[in-house]
Chain A
Amino acid sequence: MTETRKITRRAALAGLSTALATPAFRPSFAQAAPIKIGVLHSLSGTMAISETALRDTVLMMVEHQNSKGGLLGRRLEAVVVDPASNWPLFAEKARELLQVHKVDVTFGCWTSVSRKSVLPVFEELNGMLFYPVQYEGEEESRNIFYTGAAPNQQAIPAVEYLMGPDGGEAKRIALLGTDYVYPRTTNRILRGYLNSKGITDADIMEEYTPFGHSDWQGIVARVKRFAGEGKKTAIVSTINGDANVPFYRELGNQGIKAEDIPCVAFSVGEEELAGIDARPLVGHLAAWNYFMSVQSPANTEFKNLWQAYIKNPRRVTNDPMEATYTGFNMWAQAVAKANTTAVDAVRTAVIGEKFAAPSGYTEEMLPNHHLSKPVMIGEIQADGQFNIVYKTPAVVPAENWSQFIPENANRRRG
Chain B
Amino acid sequence: MKRTILLLFLLLAAMPARAQDAFLAALPGLGGGFGAQVEAVGQLGTLGDPRALPILTALSEGRLLRLADGTLLIRDGTRLLNAATGAPVDVAEADTQRVTINNRVRGALRGALGQLQIISPNSAERLAAADAIFRARSAENVPLLDAALARESVPEVRDRIALALAASRLVATNPADKLAGITALGETASPQARSILLEARAANPEVATQIDAAVAAIDQRLAIRRAAETLFQGLSLGSVLLLAALGLAVTFGVMGVINMAHGEFVMLGAYTTVMVQDFARDIPWLQPWSLPIAVPAAFLVTAAIGAAMERGLIRHLYGRPLETLLLTFGVGMMIQQAVRLIFGAQNREVISPPWMQGTLMLPFDIPVTANRLWILCFSLVIFGLILAAIRMTRFGLEMRAVTQRRPIAAAMGIRTGRVDALTFAFGSGIAGIAGVALSQIDNVSPNLGTGYIIDSFLVVVFGGVGSLAGTLIAAFGLGVINKMLEPWAGAVLAKVFVLVAVMAFIQRRPRGLFPQKGRAAEA
Q: Which of B22-41 contact A (CB under 8 A)?
A: 34
Do A168 and B104 contact each other (CB < 8 Å), given the known contacts A214-B442, A245-B442, A253-B357?
yes
Is B473 close to A, CB under 8 A?
A: no
> Between A and B, how many residue pairs show CB distances below 8 Å?
141
Contact check, B443 vs A218: say whether CB atoms are below 8 A apart.
no
Compute how far the CA of A179 lies from the CA of B348 in the bound complex, rounded to whole angstroms.
25
State which of B62, B447, B490 has its C-beta within 8 Å of the C-beta of A212.
B447
Is A183 close to B, CB under 8 A?
A: no
Contact check, B103 vs A259: say whether CB atoms are below 8 A apart.
yes
Shortest C-beta distance, B339 to chain A (Å), equals 13
Is A381 close to B, CB under 8 A?
A: yes
Contact check, A214 vs B441: say whether CB atoms are below 8 A apart.
yes
Residues of B contacting A249 in the complex (Cβ-Cβ under 8 angstroms): 352, 371, 441
Residue of A nearest to B237 (CB): A215
Shortest C-beta distance, B281 to chain A (Å), equals 13
Do A277 and B443 contact each other (CB < 8 Å), given the known contacts A230-B198, A231-B199?
no
**What sequence of 0s and 1s flags, for each residue 99-130 of chain B, a beta carbon within 8 Å of any chain A beta carbon?**
01011101100100000000000000000000
Contact check, A260 vs B135: say whether CB atoms are below 8 A apart.
yes
Contact check, B103 vs A224: say whether CB atoms are below 8 A apart.
no
**What sequence of 0s and 1s flags, for each residue 315-353 of chain B, a beta carbon within 8 Å of any chain A beta carbon?**
000000000000000000000000000000111110110
Contact check, B442 vs A274: say whether CB atoms are below 8 A apart.
no
Compute how far the CA of A275 lies from the CA of B346 in the bound complex, rounded to whole angstroms.
7
Do A259 and B359 contact each other (CB < 8 Å), given the known contacts A218-B487, A245-B347, A277-B349?
no
Contact check, A230 vs B197: say whether CB atoms are below 8 A apart.
yes
Is A276 close to B, CB under 8 A?
A: yes
**What sequence of 0s and 1s flags, for each residue 352-363 of chain B, a beta carbon within 8 Å of any chain A beta carbon?**
100001110000
Is A192 close to B, CB under 8 A?
A: no
Is A213 close to B, CB under 8 A?
A: yes
Compute how far the CA of A207 lies from the CA of B492 in the bound complex, rounded to whole angstroms.
9
Q: Which of A331-351 contact B (CB under 8 A)?
A: none
Residues of B contacting A179 in the complex (Cβ-Cβ under 8 angstroms): 492
Residue of B nearest to A250 (CB): B369
- In this complex, the interface size class of chain A, counting residues with CB under 8 Å from chain B, is 35 or more
Is B67 close to A, CB under 8 A?
A: no
Compute how far the CA of A274 lies from the CA of B345 in the bound complex, rounded to whole angstroms.
12
Contact check, B369 vs A254: say whether CB atoms are below 8 A apart.
yes
Is B204 close to A, CB under 8 A?
A: no
Contact check, B346 vs A168: say whether CB atoms are below 8 A apart.
no
Residues of B contacting A46 in the complex (Cβ-Cβ under 8 angstroms): 447
Other 14 A-B pairs with CB < 8 A, given A219-B486, A228-B198, A253-B372: A179-B492, A208-B491, A218-B233, A218-B487, A228-B192, A230-B198, A230-B199, A231-B198, A245-B443, A255-B359, A259-B107, A259-B135, A275-B347, A387-B100
**Cβ contacts A to B, 15 pairs, < 8 Å:** A166-B102, A207-B490, A207-B491, A208-B490, A215-B237, A217-B233, A218-B486, A221-B233, A225-B191, A230-B197, A230-B198, A230-B201, A245-B442, A277-B351, A387-B100
